[in-house]
Each structure stands twice: as C-alpha cells, then as structure tokens.
Amino acid sequence: MNNNFDNAGISVLNDDYTDFIEKYIHIKFKIEPVFINRKLKLPVSVKYSKSLGNDRICNGAAASVIYNKKNTLIIDFGTATTFTLMSDNILTGGMILPGIKTSLLSLTGMTSLPEVNLTFPRSLINNNTIDNIRAGVLYQSLFSAERIIRETGKKYKGLFVIATGGYSKLISGKTGLINITDRYLALKGINIIISQ
C-alpha cells in the first residue's frame, strides 16, 4: 500500500470525531487533514443555514465544477436521502428524507415483519410479504424522487439531475428523470475543494 500523498480532505457530519481523526491522520501519515466546511474557499456559494451538512457541500462543489449546469438537483441516496439544489452556482436549499435502508430498518425494527434484501420485485403489487416490503420501501423512494424532480423542474428550467450515494444505481435504473449517476460525487467534491 502506498502511503505517499501530500494532503487529505475529510468530510464528517459529526464534529465529535474530528479530533480523533485529525490525530490519527497526523500520526499515521504525518500530514494535517483538511476538514471540509463552509469556511473554506469553495467553488460554489452557499445560501443555506449553518446546519448544512458538509457532504452536501462536497456534492454541490463537484456538481458545479464537473457538470456545470445552470440548475442541478443532486439526490444522494444514502443513510438519508437528500435533495440539494444548485442554481447559478449557488447551493440554494433542498430536502431531507429517510434513506432507503433507514426506511427498511424502521419498518422491520418497529414491526414483526421480516428483514429483506433490497431489490426491486417484478411488479408494483405483489402477493407475498417479502416482495410487499421490497416494493413498498423501494417504490416509495422512487416515486417520491420522481415527484420532487418534476415539481422542482417546474421552477428551475432545464433541471439536470444527478444521483449519488450507495443506493443511487438501484433507483436511477428505474427512472428516466435522472440524467447521470455518480456514486462518488462527494469524494470528487472533497478533491476539488482541497485542490483549490
């Protein structure tokens, strides 16, 4: 394993871990990591409260630099499903929904329903519990994403939609409303931000 590099960029949502991570990186690699936040020089402007997650800043930076569209909606299908709107190179806002796996765990953890693997069943309506759960969790996410894309597109013309995150390919394969899937958008954003 090659441990030779000059810098490291890190995006964490919980500041409780930054001291530990910083010490570990310094001891292991002899460098001072850069923690992504809105105080850094960014390739985008941020019109959002201070509570904005750094992962969404990274996604916005990458979307702006790599895809460079007037209006972009980034859908991150991760632990939470986040919608982040970029307009004229400004991160203007968004929405946060329960993530696909989070929805599944909430459903099965709060009921006596069985745990299932997340794959789309053959049809929307099914006659067994396993496929009912799969269809419910996955189509809920798909249909809400499609509706949000359509509604956002009414105000932001020419909307370019990027899917990212662990479940992005699963959802983007079922809709024609997503222009591109880029699972590593946040990592690309970190690289862009620390390379400026």
Of the residues 16, 19, 55, 76, only one is catalytic, namely: 55
The SS3 call for residue 192 is helix
Contacts 24+ apart (CB under 8 A), 174-181: 174/120, 174/142, 175/142, 175/145, 175/146, 177/145, 177/146, 177/149, 177/150, 178/75, 178/145, 178/149, 180/67
The SS3 call for residue 77 is strand
Instruction: Quickly list DSSP for 161-179.
Output: EEEESTTHHHHHTT-SS--
> Distance (Å, rounded) from C-alpha 70 to C-alpha 101?
32
Active site residue 55: yes
CA angle 116, 53, 40 (to 5 degrees): 145
CA angle 179, 38, 25 (to 5 degrees): 95
> Distance (Å, rounded) from C-alpha 130 to C-alpha 117?
9
Question: Which residue numbers are catalytic?
Answer: 55
